[in-house]
């Protein structure tokens, strides 16, 4: 369908993979994109390794409308995202004049030395556009269909608020929920048949445990109201027969 816009995410950082830092950005991005009709199709978590970042970004940007990255744009030696994105696009990574001026002024106002480490945050691929950072000034950047943002959740969320209005959006997925007192093993085969009969819907079943008993929540999603309702009716009819 021409109105389906897709996205992927690359979460960058050894600290995520080691468990030292718990990611809080994936869920926020998924929620924000779903709200505007963009399907988040894949998330990869990669280490602070340039080859791994390049491979992930190039693979995902080739098959999605948008790619969002988080992490690795700070002032330390392991903040290599700007270098990696530059390499992915075959562009030089250079000090952006506007970003350099923004950061220099920011630290001067705070009477803090603008060190070479802090200046690293002004580096980005040649020709990249800024993503404003209203929290700590150091900008993210956009090149092609890739949006590069900070890993700190408050900064990521603020940057994303500036990005979302720029994006082409699609038709939102509608959803209907049907509660089911049976377990997945009981309904699995019949539910598969209903999915096959309603190919323009997405039917998911989610086991639940409450008040000492198991039950299942069945969710039907579609971009077409009538088709969603038809599939939901089929599910309800199936449950009546059990």
What are 147-184's pLDDT values in tens digits?
999 999 999 999 999 999 999 988 888 999 999 998 89
The per-residue pLDDT for 18 is 96
Candidates 96, 238, 138; CA nearest to 178 is 238
More confident residue, 71 or 242: 71
Segments making up each domain of the chain, as ranges: 5-166, 174-240
- 7 vs 30: CA distance, rounded Å: 9
Q: Average pLDDT in the 56-83 region?
A: 97
How sure is the predictor about 2, in pLDDT bands with cuts at 50, 70 and 90?
low
Q: What CATH code would you report for 5-166?
A: 3.40.980.10
How sure is the predictor about 208, in pLDDT bands with cuts at 50, 70 and 90?
confident
Residue 5 zone, left/alpha/beta (φ > 0; ψ -120 to 50; rest):
beta
How sure is the predictor about 85, in pLDDT bands with cuts at 50, 70 and 90?
very high
The rounded mean pLDDT for the chain is 94
- Look at residue 1 and tell me whether its pLDDT is greater than 50: no
Q: Average pLDDT in the 80-109 region?
A: 97
| CATH assignment of 174-240, among 3.40.50.960, 3.90.180.10, 3.30.70.2860, 3.10.450.50 | 3.30.70.2860
């Amino acid at each position: 369908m021409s109105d389906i816009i897709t996205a992927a995410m690359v979460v960058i950082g050894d600290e995520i993979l080691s468990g030292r830092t718990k990611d809080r950005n994936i869920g926020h991005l998924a929620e924000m994109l779903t709200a505007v009709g963009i399907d988040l199709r894949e998330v990869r978590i990669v280490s602070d390794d340039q080859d791994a970042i390049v491979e992930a970004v190039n693979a995902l940007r080739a098959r999605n409308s948008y790619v969002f990255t988080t992490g690795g744009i700070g002032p330390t030696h392991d903040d290599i995202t700007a270098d990696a994105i530059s390499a992915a696009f075959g562009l030089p990574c250079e000090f952006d004049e506007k970003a350099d001026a923004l950061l220099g002024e920011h630290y001067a106002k705070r009477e803090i030395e603008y060190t070479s480490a802090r200046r690293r945050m002004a580096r980005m691929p040649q020709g990249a556009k800024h993503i404003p950072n209203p929290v700590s000034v150091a900008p993210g950047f956009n090149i092609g269909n890739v949006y590069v943002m900070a890993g700190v959740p408050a900064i990521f969320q603020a940057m994303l608020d500036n990005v979302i209005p720029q994006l082409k959006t699609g038709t939102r997925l509608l959803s209907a929920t049907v509660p089911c007192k049976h377990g997945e093993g009981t309904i699995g085969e019949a539910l598969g048949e209903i999915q096959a009969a309603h190919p323009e819907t997405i039917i998911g079943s989610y086991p639940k445990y409450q008040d000492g008993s198991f039950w299942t929540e069945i969710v039907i999603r579609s971009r077409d109201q009538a088709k969603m309702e038809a599939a939901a009716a089929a599910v309800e009819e199936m449950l009546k027969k059990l």
